[in-house]
């Protein structure tokens, strides 16, 4: 069985089964032989007992010779029994079909049978013959002589029977002992077989299962402790090779991922380094000795080397290669399909620069395909030995070529975008300067126009009629509006230009300040103001929040209309992205035709006579978006409008908004109370 350890698993199991079969077959044969011997001894005992009875039967028949039974019949019966006795005695001495010779048990028994045979031949057989043949007194004398010798004969047969019974008892004990030994040996053999099967089957299968679980847990470096050369050992080696291949593939994917990240973070002047890392990784992962990245020159009919792996980067970079020196690169470029040459020595008739200069033996050329055209090729060379590049290698090379093409395209687009952005920024700055200068230029004349109109009205009121005074009122109003427009335009310009350091702002206090400024207008229109008592604390500039609330509440007041019970609510509602603050009114609402344009500069909510420059909501949108927030409106004509806006909140978590419903105003708070912020930091 030791020799089977290095063979196949089927042979090992076969050896175990054959060994068990032979062992149990041997046990069965020996047991059968012992049982057969015991049966033979038992048959001999029965035979001896039958012959002992036959002696008495012969004596009984001799007594009947003097009875009324016909003499010839008795003589024939005595003759038959006599013959059967002698045959039986021979069977005991020499064996029968049912048992072996009784004398084979021991020499003493054989001697007893020999003496028995001699005693019969010398004394009893002559007596029987004389008793049968003689008549009268002589027959009686012969009969008496036979009867006297029967006791000795029966005693001798009894001794033989006792010897046979002792032999039978010994053989029965031997059979029992052998069966017990067979049972113990069978259990021992079964234990050895189970231990062997546990060693060659169960433990290797457990190791394979553990190895599979490690593979599932991304542990690819742990070996499987199976050292046999059978099918399970081969399966374990297959698992290890698979794990190694998976580890290599993961490494390749990680390299591709890292390359993709480098492409995504490509900045100004980083193209050369990214291309160098691409060719270095391609060389390492594909087992090549040299990788070269070449592009077609846009003007000259030649190749330009953009990058090369290893030390060749500085040696061959920006080197020019002629088309007649690169036949396989030309083929890959023209067909836009990879070209694989396993042995360059087979193409001695062609001029190949990489073979002649670098000693390349194997060659792969993969086209660089940009979104619009093929811009070059990626060449992988094996200079140390002939390498058989697999289909996986070619696909991996195509991926690196794709990354290289995307990198070069992104670099071109980045340079173009950077140049365009710089130009646009310069133009935008010029426009902002012009707007600011123009606004300053407009602000002073607008104020003087309104002031001149006031002087004329003061000095010449008595000389002017109502029509002239009405014209002067219009001039004053337009001048004041123009002045306000200039000031709001300057506010909008300052918001976009000035940096905005964050502050911890108590929203409740800012709302109260705005309401105090607008209190007279609210009182004049009889507007009820309702403010939620738990407005969230915001992370922004206080002046910006004040501008947002001032513009939204002012708009709500201006466009309240003729509502008999005017009302403005200020509150907040939860949202997965952060609490939404709102200003809600029940005024005239917004015309659906202009609702999409309410946040654009110089747009009026309705064609009413309400004052304003049309910049309020534009300022709100600019401020909110400066903090990365959003602003929206929900409005129905005749029902009212709700303006929602989101600014960064102090220490707010998404779960907070999910646990709380919309916080409506719970009472009129015209005078708020200061709230101390106990939170140590900002979470935006």
Per-residue pLDDT tens digits for 80-133: 888 888 888 888 888 888 888 887 877 888 888 888 888 888 888 888 888 788
Q: Write out pLDDT tens, residues 416-467.
A: 777 777 777 676 666 556 556 555 555 556 566 666 667 777 777 777 777 7
Q: What's the pLDDT at 508?
A: 92
Averaged over 611-627, what is the pLDDT?
Answer: 75
| Domain range enclosing 577 | 501-659
Instruction: For residue 253, tell me if it sits in a domain.
Output: no
Gap between the Cα atoms of 90 and 120, Å rounded: 12
> Domain check: are 174 and 276 in the same one?
no
- Residue 33's pLDDT band (boundaries 50, 70, 90)? confident
Contacts of 10 (CB under 8 A, 6+ apart): 231
Instruction: For residue 352, tell me if it sits in a domain.
Output: yes
pTM of the model: 0.41
Q: Where are the alpha helices (DSSP H) in 217-265?
A: 231-264
Q: Write out pLDDT tens, residues 561-575.
A: 888 899 999 999 988
Closest to 537 (Cα-Cα) out of 675, 670, 669, 405: 675
| Residue 583 pLDDT > 60 | yes
State the angle between helix axes of 107-119 and 137-197 in degrees (0 to 180), rounded to the nearest 10. 160
Candidate from 157-161, 353-357, 385-389, 607-611 with smallest mean pLDDT: 607-611
- Residue 581's pLDDT band (boundaries 50, 70, 90)? very high
CB 676 within 8 A of CB 509: no
Instruction: For residue 673, tell me if it sits in a domain.
Output: no
Q: What's the pLDDT at 531?
A: 93
| Residue 631 pLDDT > 50 | yes
Averaged over 148-166, what is the pLDDT?
Answer: 86
Q: What's the pLDDT at 256?
A: 61
Instruction: For residue 533, tell me if it sits in a domain.
Output: yes
CB 505 within 8 A of CB 537: yes
Averaged over 54-78, what is the pLDDT?
Answer: 74
Closest to 41 (Cα-Cα) out of 159, 130, 167, 156: 167
| Residue 272 pLDDT > 80 | no
Q: Which residue among 147, 178, 209 closes a domain?
A: 178
Averaged over 132-154, what is the pLDDT?
Answer: 80
Both tokens of 232, joined, read 């399970």
DSSP string, 24-57: HHHHHHHHHHHHHHHHHHHHHHHHHHHHHHHHHH
Q: What's the pLDDT at 264?
A: 55
Place of tokens 């009413």: 608
Q: What's the pLDDT at 682?
A: 33
Q: What's the pLDDT at 594?
A: 78
Q: What's the pLDDT at 390?
A: 85
Instruction: For residue 418, tell me if it sits in a domain.
Output: no
Q: What's the pLDDT at 679?
A: 32
CATH number at residue 591: 3.30.565.10
Environment class of 642 (CB within 10 Å of its CB; exposed 0-12, middle 13-18, buried 19+) = buried
| Residue 142 pLDDT > 60 | yes
Q: Which residue among 159, 178, 197 closes a domain?
A: 178
Residue 610 has, within 13 A of its CA and on its CB side, a CA count of 20
> Domain check: are 172 and 26 in the same one?
yes
> Domain check: are 168 and 315 in the same one?
no
Both tokens of 524, joined, read 């004049």
- Residue 589 gets the label, from left (phi > 0), alpha (psi -120 to 50) or beta, of left
CATH number at residue 150: 1.20.120
**Which three-class secondary structure string do you get for 601-635?**
CCCCCCCCCCCCCCCHHHHHHHHHHHCCCCEEEEE
| Residue 659 pLDDT > 60 | no
> Domain check: are 174 and 316 in the same one?
no
Q: Which residue among 363, 392, 407 closes a domain?
A: 407
Both tokens of 592, joined, read 């659906």
Instruction: For residue 195, tell me if it sits in a domain.
Output: no
| Residue 628 pLDDT > 90 | no
> Domain check: are 172 and 273 in the same one?
no
Instruction: For residue 463, tell me if it sits in a domain.
Output: no
Q: Where are the alpha helices (DSSP H) in 350-465?
A: 353-358, 391-460
Averaged over 349-362, what is the pLDDT?
Answer: 83
Instruction: For residue 596, tell me if it sits in a domain.
Output: yes
- Residue 651 gets the label, from left (phi > 0), alpha (psi -120 to 50) or beta, of left
Using DSSP, state whether 296 is helix, strand or coil.
strand
Sign of the dihedral defined by the CA atoms of residues 506, 508, 514, 516, in that order: negative
| Residue 530 pLDDT > 80 | yes
Give the H/E segment covering residue 633: strand 631-636
Q: In the predicted model, what is the mean pLDDT of the chain?
A: 78
Contacts of 200 (CB under 8 A, 6+ apart): 5, 9, 12, 13, 228, 230, 232
CB 300 within 8 A of CB 400: no
> In the chain, how many domains are there?
3
What DSSP designation does 594 have?
T
Place of tokens 């979104």: 371
Q: Where are the alpha helices (DSSP H) in 498-607?
A: 507-517, 519-525, 542-558
Q: Write out pLDDT tens, residues 293-332.
A: 888 887 777 888 888 887 777 777 778 888 888 888 888 8
Q: Write out pLDDT tens, residues 474-506.
A: 776 666 656 555 555 655 555 555 555 678 889
Share of the chain above pLDDT 70, in %: 79
Gap between the Cα atoms of 252 and 281, Å rounded: 9
Between 197 and 226, whose confidence is greater?
197
Strand-pairing partners, residue 583, are 570, 643
CATH number at residue 294: 3.30.450.40
Gap between the Cα atoms of 364 and 338, Å rounded: 7
């Amino acid at each position: 069985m030791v020799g089977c350890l290095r063979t196949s698993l089927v042979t090992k199991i076969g050896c175990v089964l054959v060994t068990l079969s032979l062992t149990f077959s041997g046990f069965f044969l020996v047991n059968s032989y012992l049982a057969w011997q015991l049966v033979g001894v038992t048959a001999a005992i029965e035979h001896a007992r039958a012959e002992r009875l036959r002696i008495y039967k012969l004596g009984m028949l001799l007594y009947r010779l003097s009875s009324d039974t016909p003499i010839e019949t008795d003589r024939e019966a005595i003759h038959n029994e006599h013959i059967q006795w002698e045959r039986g005695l021979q069977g005991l001495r020499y064996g029968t079909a049912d048992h072996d010779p009784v004398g084979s048990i021991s020499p003493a028994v054989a001697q007893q049978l020999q003496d028995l045979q001699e005693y019969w031949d010398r004394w009893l057989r002559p007596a029987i013959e004389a008793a049968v043949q003689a008549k009268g007194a002589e027959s009686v004398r012969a009969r008496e002589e036979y009867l006297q010798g029967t006791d000795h004969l029966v005693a001798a047969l009894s001794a033989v029977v006792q010897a046979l019974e002792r032999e039978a008892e010994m053989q029965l004990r031997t059979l029992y002992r052998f069966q017990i030994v067979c049972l113990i040996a069978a259990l021992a053999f079964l234990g050895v077989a189970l231990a062997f099967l546990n060693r060659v089957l169960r433990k290797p299968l457990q190791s394979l299962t553990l190895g599979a679980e490690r593979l599932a847990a991304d542990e690819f470096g742990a070996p499987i402790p199976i050292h046999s050369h059978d099918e399970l050992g081969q399966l374990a080696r297959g698992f290890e090779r698979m794990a190694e291949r998976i580890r290599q593939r993961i490494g390749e994917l990680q390299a591709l991922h890292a390359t993709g990240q480098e492409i995504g973070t490509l900045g100004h002047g980083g193209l050369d380094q990214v291309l160098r890392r691409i060719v270095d990784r391609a060389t390492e992962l594909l087992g090549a000795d040299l990788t070269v990245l070449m592009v077609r020159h846009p003007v000259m009919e030649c190749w330009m080397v953009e990058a090369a792996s290893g030390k060749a980067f500085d040696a061959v970079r920006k080197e020019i290669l002629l088309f007649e020196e690169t036949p396989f690169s030309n083929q890959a470029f023209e067909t836009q399909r990879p070209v694989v040459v396993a042995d360059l020595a087979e193409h001695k008739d062609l001029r190949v620069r990489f073979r002649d200069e670098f000693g390349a033996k194997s060659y792969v050329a993969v086209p660089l395909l940009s979104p619009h055209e093929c811009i070059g090729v990626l060449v992988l060379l094996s200079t140390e030995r002939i390498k058989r590049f697999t289909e996986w290698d070619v696909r991996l090379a195509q991926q690196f070529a794709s990354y290289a093409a995307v990198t070069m395209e992104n670099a071109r687009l980045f340079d173009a975008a950077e140049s365009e952005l710089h130009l646009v920024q310069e133009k935008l700055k010029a426009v902002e300067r012009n707007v600011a200068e123009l606004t300053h230029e407009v602000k002073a004349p607008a104020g003087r126009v309104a002031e001149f109109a006031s002087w004329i009205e003061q000095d010449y009121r008595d000389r002017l009629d109502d029509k002239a005074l009405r014209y002067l009122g219009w001039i004053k109003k337009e001048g004041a509006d123009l002045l306000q427009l200039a000031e709001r335009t300057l506010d909008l310009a300052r918001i976009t230009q000035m940096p905005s350091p964050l502050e911890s702002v108590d929203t409740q206090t800012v709302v109260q300040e705005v309401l105090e400024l607008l209190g007279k207008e609210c009182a004049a229109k009889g507007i009820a103001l309702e403010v939620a008592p738990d407005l969230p604390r915001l992370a922004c500039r206080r002046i910006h929040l004040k501008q947002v609330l001032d513009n939204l509440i002012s708009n709500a007041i201006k466009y309240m209309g003729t509502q008999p019970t005017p009302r403005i609510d200020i509150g907040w509602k939860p949202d997965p992205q952060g609490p939404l603050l709102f200003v809600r009114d029940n005024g005239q609402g917004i015309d659906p035709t202009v609702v999409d344009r309410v946040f654009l500069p110089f747009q009026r909510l309705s064609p009413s006579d309400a004052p304003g420059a049309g910049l309020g909501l534009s300022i709100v949108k600019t401020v909110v978006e400066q903090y990365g927030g959003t602003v929206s409106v929900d409005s129905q004509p005749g029902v009212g409008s709700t303006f929602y806006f989101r600014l960064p909140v102090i220490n707010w978590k998404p779960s907070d908004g999910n646990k709380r419903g919309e916080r409506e105003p719970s009472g009129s708070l015209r005078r708020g109370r200061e709230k101390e912020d106990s939170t140590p930091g900002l979470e935006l």
